[in-house]
Amino acid sequence: MRNATILSCGAYAPERIVPNSYFDTLLQEDVDTWLRTNVQIYERHWCAPDESAADLAEQAARQALERAGLSAADLDLIILATDTPEYISPSTAAVVQHRLGAHKAGTFDLNSACAGFVTALDVGAKYIRSDERYRHILVIGAYAMSKFLNMEDKKTVTLFADGAGAVVLKASEVEEGEGFLASELRTFGEYHDWMGIYAGATHEPTTADTLDNRSHLLQFVRKFPKELNPDVWTDMTLQICGRIGIQPGDIDHFFITQININSIWETLDRLGVPRKKATTIMHHYGYTGSACIPMAFNEAWERGLVKPGQLCMFIGSGGGLAFAAAAFRT
């Protein structure tokens, strides 16, 4: 059968490293202890002033293409998941396409916040399964949230960071049970106004007033129920396992949104699988939103942990609230 397989991966983080001690000085209090104890973030990478989402995406894409042994001209489609785009319009994917020289590739951006990469992975896999014209699809998650942080808000400024990750999907003739296996998307729209960047688009165009009241910056408006992510991540995993006829213990690797290590561990505990099956990268990269899952996958791939024939579960969640999960056998 013709199916989407993961051919290669790549990742990039800006050179600037911001340790927790930076915020101790900035906020005039000890935040390092809380960050280390509660979310296990020790440092993160932030963009340089002249660096933005397209720069991060381009670097991750180039690494993924090199590892795939492809040129940009081999790409048929570029899907870029981000909620920190280069511009409101046109798409960031178009910028990256031009820079790479991927002149044959169609492009579009996808915004389902931090669930974006897994959603884009799902979309790319289904393009390959449904249309024989698509042979190589580049899927990118890019995040430059440092550009939208309120430097006085310790709830956000200490967590969020920048980076990009990419995979190349290939159309392959495989046996049943190889490549893309199943996916699920969910949205709880009642939470749409609980966290986000609420100015800069048509609801509240950027003006001098919005700049003054900082509504163009990331805001946590209300605190989410702490069980929400573990509840939904666990249920989505069980639903997908049921559909493809496996048990959670059969999954070799979990790549889950890196906002809170305790939520990841709670999910694995509920599923009855060892915590070591989840690769975590927030320790040295902070929370990189739509980039964190492909960056975690890249980390595992570089360490030789992901091997042919293994089963990977990708689970993302973000503002909206949007959730996405997808299972692949590598």
The pLDDT, as a whole number, for residue 209 is 78
Phi-psi bin for 320: left (phi > 0), alpha (psi -120 to 50), beta? left
Percentage of the chain exceeding pLDDT 70: 100
Structure tokens at 201: 């688009």
Average pLDDT over residues 178-207: 93
Structure tokens at 137: 């699809």
Q: Is the per-residue pLDDT at 213 higher than 80?
A: no
Residue 96, Cβ neighbours under 10 Å: how many?
31
Give the ranges where 85-227 is alpha helix by DSSP (H).
92-100, 116-130, 154-157, 208-213
Q: Is the per-residue pLDDT at 102 higher than 90?
A: yes
**Structural contact between residues 23 and 31, judged by C-beta atoms closer than 8 angstroms:** yes
The rounded distance, in Å, linking the Cα atoms of 49 and 262 is 33
**Structural contact between residues 164 and 78, judged by C-beta atoms closer than 8 angstroms:** no
Strand order in the sheet with 2-12: 2-12, 162-173, 136-144, 77-81, 106-110
Question: β-pairing, 179-187 with 322-329?
Answer: antiparallel
Q: Which of 39-43, 74-78, 162-166, 221-225 has the lowest mean pLDDT?
A: 221-225
Partners of 36 in the β-ladder: none
Q: Is the per-residue pLDDT at 221 higher than 90?
A: no
Q: Is the peptide bond before 248 cis (omega within 30 degrees of 0)?
A: no
Fold equal for 2-173 and 179-329: yes
Residue 266, Cβ neighbours under 10 Å: how many?
19
Partners of 12 in the β-ladder: 164
The pLDDT, as a whole number, for residue 141 is 98
Tell me what the pLDDT averaged over the chain comes to: 96
Q: CATH says 179-329 is which class?
A: alpha beta
Average pLDDT over residues 172-192: 95
Residue 7 — very low, low, confident or very high, per pLDDT cuts 50/70/90? very high
> Could you read off the pLDDT of 288-322 as tens digits, one per residue?
999 999 999 999 999 999 999 999 999 999 999 99
2-173, what's its fold? Peroxisomal Thiolase; Chain A, domain 1 (3.40.47)
Extents of the domains making up the chain: 2-173, 179-329
Q: Is the per-residue pLDDT at 212 higher than 90?
A: no
Question: β-pairing, 311-318 with 253-256?
Answer: parallel
Closest listed residue to residue 165, CA positions, set 285, 327, 9:
9
The pLDDT, as a whole number, for residue 21 is 96
Average pLDDT over residues 208-234: 88
Closest listed residue to residue 48, CA positions, set 126, 120, 144:
144
